Amino acid sequence: MTSQQLPAPPADAKKSKAGRNLPAAIGVGGFLGGLCIAVLLFAPQWWYALVGAAVVVASWEVIKRLREGGFAVPVAPLLVGGAAIIASSWFSDGNPAGVLVALVATVLVTMVWRLLSQGLSAAPVGYLPDLAASVLVLLWIPVLASFGAAMVLDDHGPQRVFTLMIVVVCSDVGGYAAGVLFGKHPMVPAISPKKSWEGLVGSLTFGIIGAVCCVVFLLDSHWWIGVILGAVLVLCATLGDLVESQVKRDLEIKDMGSLLPGHGGIMDRLDSLLPSAFIVWAVLSALL
């Protein structure tokens, strides 16, 4: 920094040690959390609509970044198909078979769409990597999100969704606090330099405590289910975050979007929630 810059605070002065604009991140996170809580408490029938809207926006962010990175993924089939996957879960009362049918139909349409994208007289270039990236978008966003949407239809449905959100927040807060205060040993510096083993321990501690409290007080079940759920969910959420970090590293970008100040895009908030939604659905369906 030059001497001319000293009198004025730098643009990122409000960023925390972990690299976030903390006031903006807290404000946006509080608003999104409040919106989800309000829907689940007062209008749970609109939960599917909220999830569907988030899926469309997150899919668009990833599609845009992939296209900027040289992947000619088709826009219309992925956006319409992603919405159809969420809708199929609703119309099939949360049955994964409905999601599977919509997924297969969307993949078939995407295959033909990309094949004919340059007309009948020219063969598409990069067909296989474009198709692989398209399937990744479908599996990564709408399919995983469908499990988070479907939980609202189960017994104690809103409480199950609250469990998902609370444990993920506990994991994030625990990891953030422990990483900032004690983080000295990078976990995977080649993928995410800010993640530390100390942060993972904080995530596990807070995540397990949060999961036990949710299972006991929200779901009225056994504490040991919370221990299993918390440990598996924290590990899955951490890996989900690392997966998105590696995708962004390959695409040479910092965030998937810029819609949410202090967070990036919608997809940057869903990276750990999406795999966690499947974990919560699977563990609670098996053990409750």
Q: Are residues 202 and 281 in the same domain?
A: yes
Total structural domains in the chain? Answer: 2
Same-domain status, 132 and 164: no
Distance, CA of 192 to CA of 81 (rounded, Å):
31
Polymer length in residues for the chain: 288
Would you call 170 helix, strand, or coil by DSSP? helix
- Tell me how far apart the alpha carbons of residues 180 and 205 are, in angstroms, rounded to a whole number: 15
Structure tokens at 269: 């908030």
pLDDT of the residue at 206: 96
Per-residue model confidence (pLDDT) at position 212: 97
The pLDDT tens digits along the chain (288 residues) read 433 333 444 444 445 454 556 666 677 677 888 889 999 999 998 999 999 999 999 999 999 999 999 999 999 999 999 999 999 999 999 999 999 999 999 999 999 999 998 777 778 889 999 999 999 999 999 999 999 999 999 999 999 999 999 999 999 899 989 988 988 888 988 888 888 999 999 999 999 999 999 999 999 999 999 999 999 999 998 888 888 889 889 998 888 877 766 567 888 888 889 999 999 999 999 998
160 and 280: one domain?
Answer: yes
Query: Do residues 74 and 131 share a domain?
Result: yes
Burial grade of 260 (CB within 10 A; 0-12, 13-18, 19 or more): buried
- 71 and 182 housed in the same domain: no
Residues 67, 171 within the same domain:
no
Q: Which of 96, 119, 153 is the last residue of a domain?
A: 153
For residue 194 the two structure tokens come to 């800010």
By residue range, what is the domain housing residue 259?
A: 156-287
User: Does one domain contain both 270 and 196?
Assistant: yes
CA 102, 149, 23, 15 torsion: positive or negative?
negative
For 64, 69, 82, 175, the CA distances from 116, given in Å and listed in that order, are 20, 21, 21, 47
- To the nearest 10°, the Cα dihedral for 41, 176, 238, 101? 30
- DSSP codes, 78-100: HHHHHHHHHHHHHHTTT-HHHHH
160/279 same-domain check: yes
Q: Return the pLDDT at 1.
A: 41
**The pLDDT value given to residue 124:** 85
pLDDT at 189: 87
Same domain, residue pair 237 and 124: no
Q: Contact, 86 vs 55, CB < 8 A? A: yes
Name 78's Cβ contacts closer than 8 Å, sequence gap at least 6. Answer: 59, 63, 106, 110, 134, 137, 138
Among residues 153, 185, 206, the one where a domain terminates is 153
Residue 14 in domain: no
The burial class, CB within 10 Å (0-12 / 13-18 / 19+), for 14 is: middle
φ, ψ (nearest 5 deg) of residue 15: -70, 145
Instruction: Say what the pLDDT of residue 106 is.
Output: 97
> How many CA atoms lie less than 13 Å away from 203 in the CB half-sphere?
26
Look at residue 32 and tell me if it is in a domain.
Answer: no
SS3 helix, strand, coil % of the chain, rounded to 5? Answer: 75, 5, 25
Q: Which residues of 135-170 are buried (b: 16+ CB within 10 A; e: fewer)?
A: bebbebbbbbbbbbbbbbbbebbbbbbbbbbbbbbb
Angle (CA) 241-243-249 rounded to 5° is 105
Specify whether 107 is located in the same domain as 164.
Answer: no
Q: Which among 117, 138, 153 is the end of a domain?
A: 153
